[in-house]
Homo-oligomer: A and B are copies of this chain.
Amino acid sequence: MKAADYLPHIAYDSVILGYSDGELKILIMEYHNTGMFALPGGFVKIQEDLEDAVRRGLKERTGLDHIFLEQFHTFGSRARYQPEIMRTILIANGHEPDGDYHWLLDRFISVAYYALINYTEVVPTPDALSDSCRWYAIDKLPALILDHQEIVKKALQTLRDNLDRKLMSGNLLPPRFTMNELQRVYESILGAPLRRTSFQRRMLSLELLERHEKHYSGKAHKAPYLYSFKNS
């Protein structure tokens, strides 16, 4: 990763959201030998669209293409300029900066995106500077570097608006799911319980769902229908 290939001062961070075991989860990276945790991020090549750079990073970290991705905020306060953190990370990776300067030690402004992906299809893959890349439940995140906690918070706030459309375009759920599973995803994103019957009526009235065969779980009760999102 050479300085000349990338736009200086510009980074991106991604809040990669998946869903499993009834919980919303985020992909978090840990840097080698530092105990520091961060959102997966990266930099923009000179000859590359901003959004393409983010998709490239997502592909590297998750193996996934064609992901639902939305930009939600750009973080540019001076307070996020803490070169000693990046210096620690570089040193821990054997990249002792020559003299006192390295382009990664400059001030960066970060454009933040969130992605809704299918947990089961992902193979978390750390990058060159990190030794792990794994899922954390949204309410059990480790302490994150810089303003990454704030970035996560803002991602969730954004996600809560127009949730119907976003869930429909994203991939948090498998292709077919029950109404109950859908409701649990809503609840974990909104952080509040919903009334079953009202939820079912509202979802059906949106006309975004297609009903399929029943799903026999082996449990001792009526089998629920499976649904999928229309045109996806």
B76 and A50 contacting across the interface, CB-CB below 8 Å: yes
Q: Is A228 an interface residue (CB 8 A)?
A: no
Size of the A side of the interface (Cβ < 8 Å), in residues, is: 23
Contact A74 B74 (CB under 8 A): yes
Q: Which residues of B contact A8 (CB under 8 A)?
A: 8-9
Does A51 sit within 8 A of B, measured CB to CB? yes
State A8–B9 Cα separation when bound (angstroms).
7
Alpha-carbon gap, A48 to B50, bound state (A): 23
In the complex where A71-B73, A73-B71, A76-B44 touch, is A109 in contact with B10 (Cβ < 8 A)? Answer: yes
What is the oligomeric copy number?
2
Contact A48 B109 (CB under 8 A): no
Q: Which of A103-118 contact B (CB under 8 A)?
A: 107, 109, 111
Q: Mask for A28-54, Cβ within 8 A of B = 1, else 0?
A: 000000000000000010111111000
| 26 pairs, CB–CB < 8 Å, chain A vs chain B | A7-B9, A8-B8, A8-B9, A9-B9, A9-B10, A10-B10, A10-B109, A44-B76, A44-B109, A46-B107, A48-B78, A49-B77, A49-B78, A49-B79, A50-B74, A50-B76, A50-B77, A50-B109, A51-B76, A51-B77, A71-B73, A71-B74, A74-B74, A74-B111, A76-B111, A161-B161
Binding site for B on A (CB under 8 A): 7-10, 44, 46-51, 71, 73-79, 107, 109, 111, 161
